[in-house]
Amino acid sequence: MKEQTNILIIDDEEVVISSISKIATLEGYSVDSVLDAFSALQKISSSKYNLIICDIMLPGMDGFQFLAELESKRIDTPVIMTTGYSTIENAVKSLYTGAIEFIPKPFTVDEMISVISRGIKYSSIMKLRKSNDDSILLVPCPAKYYRLGYSGWMNKDNDGSVLIGATDSFIKTIDQIKKIELLSTNEKLTQATPAVKFETEDGLVHQLYSVISGIIIAGNERLINEPELLEKDPYFDGWIYRIVPTELEYEMKLLIPCSSDRS
């Protein structure tokens, strides 16, 4: 399967392209690269890619415009965004605009390997779903939930606190979970920054971004001993943190309502 996987890298810096290429080729993927988004669009029209890794700040057309262009051309190749000017706004905005992942520069090799691995997995799941293959069943996120990109969800509770967790699609893009590392209570979470670490059987470490900012008032201790809860019931028993949100009103604007997934 790996022989046919193609990754397109878009970045205006040679050193970044060569770094990502090196990581990807050593992982066994084949790689193509361009220095700007216009050439990328040309490449995409002539050959098929499983994954695109795109810089936000590009000469001419920037990453956001590129995402919009893909959407208007109905190209659904998953896109991972990178940027040297890594602000939370950029991360959230790119996830809102259609990117599946966001990885700030500079990244470590391990971080990049995990992100690519999730991206490729996501790409193949989507392909299977399109071909109506029922061997993969994605549990949809409940209608009143909101999600950040495709990976995390949040649900407002009646008492004003908020539950956050991982979506089924995120769990399905990683291998069997070996170990979960939770932050302790009273720690502060910031939207679109790492909140949970998952170690998987394949030796990778995956980080789940926090959906919104807030103070942790409880972690789901059951997950430590029963990580399979996440796979069995990702939206209820498999919750990860209960938090008191600090910027709810503002941050919710950039989340995607799960109700929109059903249309």
Partner 1 sequence: MILVRKIFGKISLKLIGVVSVTVILIIGVYSYFNVTSQSDVLLAEVERHANQLSESVKNSTRYVMLLNQRDHIQEMINRIGKDPAIDNVRILNKEGEIIYSAHPEDIGKMLDKQAESCYACHAENKALEKLPIRQRTRIFKTHSDSSRILGIINPIYNEKSCYLADCHAHSENAKVLGVLDITISLTEVDEQIKQNEIREILFAVIAITAIGFIIGFFVKRWVDHPVRELVNATDQVAAGNLNYIIKNLSTDELGTLGKSFNNMIKKLDETSQQLYQSTKMASLGQLAAGVAHEINNPLTGVLTYSSFLLKRTKDNPQMQEDLNVIVRETLRSREIVKGLLDFARQSTPKKSSIDVNDIINHAIAVVNNQLKLNKVNLVKELDPSLPKITADANQIQQVFLNLFVNGIDAIGQNGGTLIVKTSQISLSPRGITQIKSAVCAKTHSLIDAEHKIGGMPSLRMKIKSNGNEGFVNIDPVYGSYRHYFGIAYDKNSSVNLACPVCDISFLDKNSKCPKCGGPIYKFQIPNQGFLEGCASFKDDWQKWDFVDRAGEKKFVEINVTDSGCGIPPENLNKIFEPFFTTKGQRGTGLGLSVIWGIIDNHNGSITVESKVGIGTTFSVRLPQQ
User: What is the DSSP secondary-structure string of 10-46?
Assistant: E-S-HHHHHHHHHHHHHTT-EEEEESSHHHHHHHHHH
Q: Which does 236 bind (CB under 5 to 8 A by kind): Zn ion, partner 1, none?
A: none
Q: What residue 89 binds from Zn ion, partner 1, none (CB within 5 to 8 A, per partner kind)?
A: partner 1
CA–CA dist 255, 97 (Å, integer): 10
Residue from 55, 101, 111, 251 touching Zn ion (CB under 5 A): that is: 55
Which residue reads 């990581």 in tokens? Answer: 23
Does residue 12 touch Zn ion according to CB under 5 A? yes
The pair of three-digit structure tokens given for residue 86, joined into one six-digit string: 């890594």
36 scored as a contact of Zn ion (CB under 5 A): no
* Residue nearer to partner 1 on the CB measure, 56 or 230: 56
CB atoms within 10 A of CB 186: 8
Residue 62 to residues 71, 95, 99, Cα–Cα distance (Å) = 14, 15, 13
Could you say which of Zn ion, partner 1, none residue 138 binds, taking C-beta under 5 to 8 angstroms by partner kind? none
Nearer to Zn ion, 55 or 168 (CB): 55
Among 35, 41, 57, 61, which residue sits at the site for Zn ion (rule: CB under 5 A)? 57
- Nearest 10 degrees: CA dihedral of 114, 76, 191, 88? 90
- Tell me which residues touch partner 1 (CB under 8 A): 13, 15-16, 18-20, 22-23, 26, 57, 83-89, 104-110, 112, 246-247, 249-251
Complex with partner 1: residue 51 or 230, whichever CB lies closer: 51
| Positions in the binding site for Zn ion (CB under 5 A) | 12, 55, 57
